Chains A and B, each alone.
Chain A
Amino acid sequence: MKVLSRTADHLYWMARYIERAENMARVLDVTYNMSLVPNAAQSEAALWQPAVEIAGNTELFEKNYGEYTAANVIQYMSMDDANPSSIYNSLRSARENARAVRVAMSSETWENINTLWLEFSQFIGIRLVESGLSVFCDWVKSRSHLFRGVSFGTMLRDDAFRFVRLGTFIERADNTARLLDVKYHLLLPEGEEVGGAVDYYEWSAVLHSVSAFQAYQKVFSDTIVPWRVAELLVLRGDMPRSLLACYDEITIILGQLSGRQNNECRRLAGELHAKLRYARMRDIFQDGLHEFLEDFIVSNNKLGGEIQRTYLNVHGG
């Protein structure tokens, strides 16, 4: 069933912003937990800088804060209204998008987002103390889970619903790729010995950040090694935050959208999907995981732009 382009646009971005807030919370939470593990090799700055890099905004951070301290990064990523990707801005944008098209979603979904915002308003203006960070991040994550559950459980399976889902998976694919890329980069300095205790903690932190720690144990029943972490987060379709899992969903959704079939969106998504589906981790590592992820992020953005052009910003009918 068709939906107004403007409505689809708001729904798509609402879902993207909620997903983004969740991922920011995941990164913050895991970084904080890592900072609790004694690690002489890494300075506070080395630990916290990647968190800001994942959001892709180091310049702005350095201009406004200077030093990568725990307190600075936590403030910047959670509550800073100058940071477009902060949890504050993501949730605010999610709610504004939702409010503009509250009719297009089930009332349960709308009330869920509105309540999220009302609850969040209590945090505004408060500087999060470190001890409160985990509670805050858990709250963001559980609110995001709730959003997905409510929309999945109550919305009619029409195009409105599909654009909500599309937003979720495009954003998630982007976030997972960034997370892995930044971590991989930093965790595998050349010549470093792989398999030490520090490595174990850091790679397990990556897994925790995408709720994949238990899945890893189940799938591999083995010590944590980087290429398997990468395999899990890139190529395993059964891992719900992996790139392949996101593209399994994206290609299905694009196929279900009524009208405008066989468009450039479907071609781009199909191409990326095939790449993820038939790639071998061995080959990816040979050419460089970093290059692979960088390519992926660019292609994923390109698809996002094409979706925007094809469905969401339609002018002149």
Chain B
Amino acid sequence: MDTTLQTAFDEMQLPAGAVREIYSAYADWLRDVPHQQLESKRQEAELLFRRVGITFNVYGETAGAERLIPFDVIPRLLAAKEWKVLSDGAIQRVRALNMFLNDIYHNKDIIKAGIVPASILANSQYRPEMHGVDVPNGIYAHIAGVDIVRTSESQFYVLEDNLRTPSGVSYMLEDRKMMMRLFPELFRRYSIAPVEHYPQVLLNNLRAVAQPGVQEPTVVLLTPGAYNSAYFEHAFIAQQMGIELVEGQDLFVRNNAVYMRTTEGPKRVDVIYRRIDDDFLDPLSFRADSMLGVPGLLTVYRNGGVTLANAVGTGVADDKATYTYVPEMIRFYLGEEPILSNVPTYELSKEDDLKYVLDHLPELVVKEVQGSGGYGMLVGPSASKKEIEEFRLRILSNPANYIAQPTLALSTCPTLVEQGIAPRHVDLRPFVLSGKTVTLVPGALCRVALREGSLVVNSSQGGGTKDTWVLNDLGM
């Protein structure tokens, strides 16, 4: 067994065997439930998820293959006071990050102040096309998925701020619906903060960022289509908000405006919640081979004919090389001390950092600067010697492409596995919404690494999900 499981902070059970207060009532309940009953609930959930079609496509597998993300029937519990810290901290970060984006696409004060190096403007995620473009309310990241991990009773770290097209919120909503169906008695017993209003909050925010002067804005969700891995989520959220789910081919540009093709003729579109990366948005401006986007969209966007959420060019702020500056951004723009910590990060473009990292590879996690989804990373403690040596060569061929962080002992939560209930590592992705105000609903996507000892929670790497309960009181 991996040692991380023994030394990691368990959110239910303390090393001495005592149960943490927040879990006390739930632990009693869990002790009395036969394993078989939990297992049959798990199977029921799987059946329902399959019927509803909550599936995702795995890149590299047979086209059209649909898989379920494993769902764990044991929830993660957070106390209201713990949630407040996370929530305040995430909101603080996103406020600062939006101000940062507005700044580097306008005056660049933070660079002039010498806090962030000018080299950031050479980052491939920096979009010169956005320079001087004003976006409604100065908001760039309307939806942000802030990944947070825990290592002790009071220590939380932000791993990354996903500011492009973060996904996973449908699991927050569907997992909750499933839990209410499977365990209604627990919802009666506990006071669990509701999350179901997320789509309404999002819709209100999206309507609020239409260009000034637009009455009754039309909002649509732009998806790459049914074969995208997150298609279910796109369909689900569009349905929950009651907006059209469109593909690039459904939209066209005319007279500095975007229209969708309907059976009644063209219909003006004011706000596009796009789930397509910058590169694919507009074949005339970015990748010419993209079939997903809308020719001419960027020109209309830059002229203020339509709002995109998230804005073009947010990638420069959630880049792993920019990440290290977020605490300084919070101090610079907000004059506040960061509520949530950054993970100490080594930038391999710096000579000292590179030397340290190459000397300590077995202890570190090394990631590509622009990687996502758990691809292209090295988890030192669980990698073989051969894997480490191979990765060393990759780093040396392009050091600036990598950052490294100490391996964090991610907290564990009780999880239903084949042998029974066992601790498994978890992370948390709350979704911060910016529009009129900056808010989040009290819940999150909680990902769990189902493989024993694994620290990688990504669904593409065998991760599952759990419902997250923010408890207003400690239950009965």
Which residues of A pack against B, CB within 8 Å?
Answer: 2-8, 96, 99-104, 107, 110-111, 114-115, 118, 159, 163, 257-260, 311-312, 314-317
A114, closest chain B residue (CB): B53
Residues in B whose Cβ lies below 8 Å from that of A315: 261
Q: Is the CB of A115 within 8 A of B51?
A: yes
Q: How far is the CB of A128 from chain B (nearest CB, A)?
A: 24
- CB of B391 closer than 8 Å to a CB of A: no
Q: Are B261 and A5 in touch, CB under 8 angstroms?
A: yes
For the complex formed, measure the closest distance between the CB of B438 and the CB atoms of chain A, giving whole angstroms: 28
Minimum Cβ distance to chain A for residue B228 (Å): 11
Give which listed residue, A8, A103, A159, A163, contacts B235 with CB less than 8 A. Answer: A103
Q: Are A6 and B247 in contact (CB under 8 A)?
A: yes
13 pairs, A vs B, C-beta closer than 8 Å: A3-B263, A4-B260, A6-B249, A7-B244, A100-B226, A102-B239, A103-B235, A111-B51, A111-B52, A118-B51, A314-B261, A316-B252, A317-B254
Query: Which of A5, A110, A111, A114 contacts B262, CB < 8 Å?
Result: A5
B20 at the interface (CB under 8 A from A): no
Which residues on the B side are within 8 Å of A110 (C-beta)?
53
Q: How many whole Å from A288's CB to the nearest CB in chain B?
A: 38
Chain A residue nearest to B246 in the complex (CB): A4
Residues in B with CB closer than 8 Å to A5 are 250, 261-263
Q: Are A99 and B264 in contact (CB under 8 A)?
A: no
Once bound together, how far apart are the Cα atoms of A114 and B225, in whole Å?
Answer: 18
CB distance from A120 to the nearest CB of B (A): 13
Contacts of A6 in B (CB 8 A): 247, 249-250, 261
Q: How many Å from the CB of B375 to the closest CB on chain A? A: 26
Tell me the bound Cα distance from A99 to B244 in angstroms: 15
User: Are the C-beta atoms of A100 and B225 separated by less than 8 Å?
Assistant: yes
Do A260 and B225 have beta carbons less than 8 Å apart? no
B81 at the interface (CB under 8 A from A): no
CB of A102 within 8 A of CB of B53, answer: yes
Please tell me if the beta carbons of B225 and A4 are within 8 angstroms of each other in the complex.
Answer: no
Q: Which of B68-98 contact A (CB under 8 A)?
A: none
Closest Cβ–Cβ distance, residue B117 to chain A (whole Å)? 44
- What residues of chain B lie closer than 8 Å to A2, measured between beta carbons? 262-264, 267
CA gap between A102 and B244 in the complex, in Å = 11
Residues of chain B within 8 A (CB-CB) of A312 are: 263
- For the complex formed, measure the closest distance between the CB of A261 and the CB atoms of chain B, giving whole angstroms: 10
Bound Cα distance A6, B250 (Å): 7
By a CB distance below 8 angstroms, the chain A residues around B259 are: 317
Q: Within the complex, what minimum Cβ distance (angstroms) separates A150 from chain B?
A: 13
Kindly state the separation between the CA atoms of A96 and B225 in the bound complex, as whole angstroms.
12
In the assembly, what is the distance between CA of A114 and CA of B238, in Å? Answer: 19
- B224-245: CB near A (< 8 Å → 1, else 0) gives 0110000000010011000011
List of A residues within 8 angstroms of B254 by Cβ: 317
Most buried by A among B50, B53, B245, B254: B53
Q: Nearest Cβ distance between residue B172 and chain A, in whole angstroms?
A: 18
- B263 lies within 8 A of A8 (CB): yes
Most buried by B among A96, A99, A159: A99
Q: Which B258-280 residues have C-beta < 8 A from chain A? A: 259-267
Q: Give chain B residues whose Cβ lies under 8 Å from the Cβ of A317.
A: 252, 254, 259, 261, 265-266
User: Complex: how many Å from CA A104 to CA B259?
Assistant: 19
Q: A104 to B247: give the CA distance in the assembly, Å.
A: 14
Which 5 pairs, one residue from A and one from B, show the smallest C-beta to C-beta distance? A259-B264, A2-B264, A317-B266, A2-B262, A103-B239
B53: chain A residues within 8 A (beta carbon) = 99, 102, 110-111, 114
Q: Which of B261-318 contact A (CB under 8 A)?
A: 261-267
Mask for B187-223, Cβ within 8 A of A = 1, else 0? 0000000000000000000000000000000000000
- When distances are taken between beta carbons in the complex, the residues of chain B under 8 Å from A114 are 51-53
Q: How far is the CB of B295 from chain A (nearest CB, A)?
A: 12
CB 8 Å contact bits of B33-59 with A (1 = contact, 0 = none): 000000000000000001111000000
Pair A4/B250 contact, Cβ less than 8 Å:
yes
Q: How far is the CA of A114 from the CA of B254 in the complex (A)?
A: 38
Known: A159-B263, A258-B263. 19 other contacts (CB 8 A): A2-B263, A2-B267, A4-B244, A4-B263, A8-B263, A99-B53, A101-B245, A103-B235, A103-B238, A104-B245, A107-B52, A107-B239, A114-B53, A163-B263, A257-B263, A260-B263, A312-B263, A317-B265, A317-B266
In the complex, what's the smallest C-beta–C-beta distance from A10 to chain B, in angstroms? 10
Q: How far is the CB of A66 from chain B (nearest CB, A)?
A: 32
In the assembled complex, which residues on chain B have CB atoms less than 8 Å from the CB atom of A96?
A: 226
Chain A residues, CB < 8 A from B267? 2
Return B298 CB to nearest CB of chain A, in Å. Answer: 19
